[in-house]
Amino acid sequence: AQSVTQLGSHVSVSEGALVLLRCNYSSSVPPYLFWYVQYPNQGLQLLLKYTTGATLVKGINGFEAEFKKSETSFHLTKPSAHMSDAAEYFCAVQTGANNLFFGTGTRLTVIP
């Protein structure tokens, strides 16, 4: 069975500081991994995804994530937080043909 654990339901960073959102997964087969962002009162939007190949994945808005198989992790980072990054972030894993398993989300607050 697959599952996703996001450490920290709330993360606060100062504007300009490093953003680090943690995601660990469990999967019996090589996974596909995703990060989605949800702005208030909106649907989810894909930030980035890992399928195969290069383990460092770059996404939109300056975010990137690194797939570390030995640590079963897929942490999301951004070097410098911007006020517009305030949102909820969801990590998801997909191993079967059609089912995305989502973590419980991390709400990012950016302090001016």
Partner 1 sequence: NAGVTQTPKFRILKIGQSMTLQCTQDMNHNYMYWYRQDPGMGLKLIYYSVGAGITDKGEVPNGYNVSRSTTEDFPLRLELAAPSQTSVYFCASSYYLSPDTQYFGPGTRLTVL
Give me the residues that bind partner 1 (CB under 8 A), please: 4, 9, 32, 34, 36, 41-46, 49, 51, 90, 92, 94, 96-105
* Residue whose CB is less far from partner 1, 35 or 85: 35
- Of the pair 46, 111, the CB lying nearest partner 1 is at 46
Three-state secondary-structure class, residue 103: coil
**Cα–Cα dist 80/71, whole Å:** 25
Least Å from the CB of residue 38 to partner 1: 8
Separation of alpha carbons 102 and 51, rounded Å:
16
Specify the residue, 2 or 77, whose C-beta has the smaller distance to partner 1.
2
Using DSSP's 3-state secondary structure scheme, residue 62 falls into helix
